[in-house]
């Protein structure tokens, strides 16, 4: 129901990020989400598990610094989307050499979603990363509506949002607000 509410709000990408469940449960959840995301024609990304992403025919996988190496995942995942988390300029530059399709960079701000999150990187470092890499950069961490302009002005191509939307009283409405503001910012060039 939560995923449907987010998609009803106009969100076009869903990433399954589940750190607590056993792998078998992640697989079953991924199967369900794949069905829903297909109905909405949304991109579906599985976090951490390239095998599960392949098994459910997800659109791609997102890999962290300590996960399966992206360049190896590319060998057996073919042309599916591969994203890679980065937390420094050096990691972002290295990620570009690994054949990934996009870079997740952050946390930009303090976040409550990820218990072991790094120290916030801020928009100045985000700006430096977007200038140094040619891949799309997805800004991650502590991003609410009020920070969208700042993040897109720094060169982010997209944002990954969890808390701000999922804690809203009306998830679909909040997701829609994000979509509308992002569309306006992109039309205005940041």
Which residues are part of the catalytic machinery?
Answer: 17, 85, 114
Measured N-to-C along each axis, helices 122-132 and 89-97 cross at an angle, to the nearest 10 degrees, of 30
Task: Please check whether residue 62 is in contact with residue 48, taking contact to mean a CB–CB distance below 8 angstroms.
Answer: yes
Cα–Cα distance list, 80 to 25, 99, 123 (Å): 23, 11, 29
The alpha carbon of residue 48 and the mean position of all alpha carbons in its chain are separated, in whole angstroms, by 12
Phi and psi dihedrals of 56, rounded to 5? -100, 5
How far is residue 23's CA from residue 53's CA, in Å, rounded to a whole number?
A: 12
Calculate the alpha carbon distances from 152 to 57, 105, 149, 173 in Å. 31, 13, 5, 21
């Amino acid at each position: 129901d939560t995923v449907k509410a987010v998609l009803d709000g106009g969100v076009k990408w869903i990433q399954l990020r589940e750190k607590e469940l056993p792998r078998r449960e992640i697989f079953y959840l991924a199967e369900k989400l794949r069905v829903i995301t297909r109905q909405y024609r949304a991109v579906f990304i599985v976090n951490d598990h390239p095998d599960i992403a392949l098994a459910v025919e997800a659109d791609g996988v997102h890999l962290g610094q300590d996960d399966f190496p992206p360049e190896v995942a590319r060998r057996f995942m073919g042309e599916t989307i591969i994203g890679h988390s980065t937390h420094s300029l050096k990691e972002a530059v290295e990620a570009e050499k690994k054949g990934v399709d996009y870079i997740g960079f952050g946390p930009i701000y303090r976040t409550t979603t990820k218990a072991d999150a790094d120290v916030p990187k801020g928009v100045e470092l985000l700006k430096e990363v977007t200038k140094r890499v040619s891949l799309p950069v997805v800004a991650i961490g502590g991003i609410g509506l009020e920070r969208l302009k700042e993040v897109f002005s720094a060169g982010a191509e997209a944002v990954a949002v969890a808390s701000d939307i999922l804690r809203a009283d009306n998830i679909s409405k909040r997701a829609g607000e994000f979509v509308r503001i992002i569309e306006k910012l992109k039309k205005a060039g940041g």
